[in-house]
Amino acid sequence: MKRFPSIKKNQDFQKVYQTGKSHANRQLVMYIRQTGKAETRIGISVSKKVGNSVVRHHLTRLLRESFRLNKDALKTGLDIVVVVRAAAKESEYKTIERAFLHLCGLHNILRESK
| 64 pLDDT above the threshold of 60 | yes
Predicted confidence at residue 113, as pLDDT, reads: 60
Check: pTM over 0.75? Answer yes or no. Answer: yes
What the chain holds in terms of domains, given with CATH numbers, is: 10-106 (3.30.230.10)
* Helices 53-70 & 93-106 angle (0-180, nearest 10): 60
Number of helices (H), then strands (E), belonging to the chain: the values are 3, 4
Mean pLDDT of all residues in 74-78:
92
